[in-house]
Each structure stands twice: as C-alpha cells, then as structure tokens.
Structure 1
Amino acid sequence: MRIFPFRFLLVLATFSSGWGALSAKETSSPAGEAVSRAIPLIEKSVLAYVEKRDCFSCHHQALAMMALGRSRDFGLKVAQDSIATQVKFSLDYFGGRSKLLLQGKGVPGGPYNAGYALTSLSAAGEPADEVTQSLVRYLLKSQKKDGSWKIINHRPPIEDSHFAATALSYRGLQAYGGTDERQGAMAKALQWMKEFPPSSTEDHAFKLLGLHWGGVPKAGQAGEASRALLALQREDNGWGQLPDMASDAYATSLALFALKESGVPQPVPKAISLGEKWLLDNQLKDGSWLVKTRSKPIQKPLDSEFPHGKDQFISIAATCWAVMALAPD
C-alpha cells in the first residue's frame, strides 16, 4: 500500500479549515438529534475498519465519507481525523493500482466501486490528481456500448443495481473528467438512465439521482422518476428494497435522500415528513439503524465495531444513508 504523507497533511488542513466549524451546531430538532447520535458510531467503525482490512468498500469508505462530510457541512460535530483517514485510505488503495486502472482493470467491485470512490472523494473535497484520473480512465474503459456500467458481484442491496453503477460512474466523471471522451461517455450514460426501466427501490433511487445529476428537468423525466419513487412508499410510510420485502432503514433512507437531494415536486409532499418520522421511530437507542443482510458473504467475517454482528455492513450503510437523509439544513 502506498503512503502519501504530504497529501495526508493537505487533506487534514482541508477538513480542519474548509468543512465548517468543529463545534456542534444546535441540533434541537429530532432529526438533528438522531444524526448526532449516529455520527460517533460511524466514526468508530470506519477507523476500526482501516486497521483490520486493506480494501476499499462502499459501506465503510464511500458512504462514510459522504455522510460525515455532509454532517460537517451542516455544522455538526465530526472528529477531525475521521474523514481525512478515509480519504487517505482510499487514495492509498487505488494509488497502488494505477497501472491496472489505466488498463481498465484493478477494481474488484468493478465500475460501481470506482464510481462510489470518485463520488465520495469529490464529496470530501479531494482535488483531481493522478489517482482520480486513473479511476476516470478505468471508467471510460469499462463502460458498456449501451452507455451503462454494470454490477459485477451481486451482493444486494448495496451492490446489485446497474442504475447505481451507472449513476455513480456518471457522477464520478462529472466531478473529475474534463475531456471530450468523458462528455461522450456521460451523454451515453444519461440516455441509458432515461430509457432503461427501473425495478428495485435501489434502481428507482439511483435513476432519480442520475437524472438529477445530469440536469434533466423536473418538469420532464426527472419528475416522473421522483413520482415513481414516491409511489413505492408503503402504508407504514417506509420503503422496502423489493416489492415483496417489508420497509427497512436502508431502502427508506436511500429513497428519502434521493427525493430530497433531487428536489421533490413542490409543494413538498407529506410523504417526505412521514418517511422521516419512520426513520426516527426506527432508530435504535445506540444511534444505529438495523437492517438484516440478504447478501451471501464472500469474505471472512470482520468485526468493524459497528453494532449488529453479521448484519453490521448493511446496517452501517443504512445508518450512513439515514444521516444523509436526515441531516438538518
């Protein structure tokens, strides 16, 4: 694994000066209090993860950087090293694979993993460099002829949606591209997201996010995607991962984030506040959200010091999405 000591100091400086105050903002709202209770659990787990495993993950690097960065943006208390450590870990991991990336290889999770890496590094404020450009080159080489990027290893729900792979890859190119080749790849991806029908809640949420990132008007297909996602809300006000599954915190948090991030049709439907209440009602006393895994393990079990044992990876992912969905503005 490569080490970038000077870059790490720059990242620390960025987070200590450019991401808001370290002191906590008033979080008197129920949503703010819920987010503040979840943050320490995420911080503890992501630091434990990098001590025990040397591979980049969406659940402990990407989503954590996105959730903690968003929380800090809103002035909530986030430990200075919790984001910077994940940025350094991610850059070291992919930096050691640069030669393979330039050949369209070297990412065990495939384009979805690379897209998450670029999206989260951008959210963390990381400037373009040799690592991000290697990831961009990887994405350009791995795009399918129809404009999509495909999931390689199906581990639902986090790693199971071609819409997630395509929208995240699009977002990564949007943040770190800059060439005519990139623009062509993005145009093809956006057209695929417009035309291909979604199935799961993950599909619907990332289709909406992809159209939003692509600047598709709310009066057109983006609005249709928003209404389609709203239509999946259950009678208990949550969302389920699949039509035959009960509401859970992962699907509900992702759906709410996508709707709020993209700007739901005005006036804001009551469904949003009811969905937020579902999350608040289902947060556990320790600050986490529990989701039962339905993915078959392909690695040895790892205790990342997040609650819920064998369900900890999907549960920390759900908790990160919940933080992003509930973070006060």
Structure 2
Amino acid sequence: MSQNEVFDQLDVGGIVDLTGEDTARIHIAALRAAGEPGKNAAYQAERAAGLVTAFPPSLVRALHRYGNHGSVHNTLLVRGLLPDVAGLPPSPGTTTPAPLGPDVDAAALILLAVASQMGEPFTFASLYEGRLVQHVTPVPGQEDAQTSEGSDTVLAWHVEDAFTEARCDFFGLLCLRGEPAAQTLVAPARALALPAEVERVLREPRFVVEPDIAHGADPTPDLPVAAVLSGPPGDPEICFDAVYQRPADPADADAATALKALADAVDAAAVAHVLEPGELLIADNRRIVHGRTVFRPRYDGTDRWLLRTMVCASKREHRRRGASRALP
C-alpha cells in the first residue's frame, strides 16, 4: 500500500444519506436511552435494539438489502447518523477511557442499533477490556502499532481477528472526529485479479494466522491450518492478515508466493474513504480486507476518533456461544 496511491471512492450504490430530521430524531431517542440505568453489555445491546423504531424506512431497507446482497465493495456507508455535537469531549488518547458523557454514550448506542440490524453485536474478552463498543484513536507510544491505537505506520491489510473462526461477520466504524489524512482502505475479495494457480493454492488449507497483539496474545504453537479463500468464485470469502499470516509449512514456497501475489492483488483492488464525523462505515469482514493510511497524531484532543463494534450474523451461532457479548 502506498500512501500516495490514488484510489477510487466507494460506490454510490452503497451509500445512504439521512436527513437532518432523521438525525435529530435518532439522537434524541439515543440520549433518552443512554440515561436509563444499567451499564452491562447485554443491557446496552438491548437498549440499542429499541432505537430501531427511530430509524427512517430508507435506512432499514438499505441495511436489509446490504445484509442480503452486499454491495459493489461489500460495504455500506451511512452519512448523517450523528448531529454536530458542540460538547463532544476531547479525543481520549486511550482505547479504554473512563465514561465520556451522554453524547458519547448515545453515539455508542446508535452504532449498536445499526449493527443489530446485521446480527448480534459481540466482542472478545481479551480485546480492549471486553468492551462491546471500542474506541479507535491514536495512543501515545503506540504510533507504530498494528492495532486501533496506531497512526504513524500504515495499518496493513487484514480482516478482523483472522486467527479465529469466531471472528465477526460484519463490523462498523462510526466517526466522532475525523482526520483528513487517514484514509480507511477496503478491498473486496471478488475484485481480486488472481492467476488461477495462485487462487488454487489460496483455497487450500496451507496457512496459519497468529493472534494479533491487540488481544495481548503470545505466539501460539498449535495454530489451526486453513485456506485464505473459500466460497463461490464470483463472491468469495477471504481470511487474510498481511502481518500475522504465514504458510503452515515454512518450506512451502508456493504458499509464500501466493500470499505475496494476494497482497499485490489487494493493493490493486483497493478503494478508500476518509470518514467524516457522523458517518458510519459497515463492512463485511468475511468478504473484504481493510487497512488505513498513515496520519500524524497531535494529542491535543482533536485527533481522529472512531467507535467500533463487531457483529455475529447468525443468531443460532450467537446462542451456541451462550449469547455472550464477550467471547473468551
């Protein structure tokens, strides 16, 4: 990925615009819900689900259509989801801040409400204290980290939590405060131009992925061996991590070559979007890879600040996991 690359923008068919009236109605309902007692994750998700009654039909239909059919880039961008909030607190400078007030609580509930239309929000207990809604913001001392805390280094291509089959089906990024230099990059698997032999290798179980440092995990000796690509050729699923993935057999030169070819194909298929305040980007974690360009943090309270949540699309699978909002 080159910081100076010129990328196409997201397809307009995958964009939904809310009116000012829609935004205000959703925000008022979210502020009301944020003031209710009960702070655990299960109750947070339940409160958020009730906000759907404030959604305009156009948003509900767009979410339904996207969940069933995807989009050109397998993303959905919702614009105008939050009002301009003059009282938004400074960007926290940590991914595990103390409570930040009603406007941030309301934004988190709005994110969860939209996410609940795609499935069941969840996280991992090992990830940022098991918070159902995570903060994505630069953190001092973590500038080069390949996590939500980094900034000075390109966030390399990956799917969320590629090391586990329990990874999310969708994730959402809600922008509270933007950064013009920070491009969110996505590349849909079905747009990858791969030679037939490379695709054949990537569809075979010849690869492993280490848990990433965001989970605080040490290298694991017994990693499951899996394929990178699966599913129908016209709409494949992908499990790729440019940093933590490698051939299961260190001597497997064909697998190593295929990963390099895949990385080049992902670069060529990339599209970008600079998230603006009030925008929510939903992405299909099974069908796209994503990353982020370099930006320079200021640590003055005005840095880029997103909220993120993840979704399990199958209620049956969610129940099998004990309906847990934070998987062990």
* TM-score category of the 2 structures, normalised to the smaller one: under 0.3
TM-score relative to the length of structure 2: 0.26
Q: Relative contact order (C-alpha < 8 Å, sep 6+): which is higher?
A: 2
User: What TM-score, normalized to structure 1?
Assistant: 0.26
Considering fraction of residues, name the structure with more helix: 1
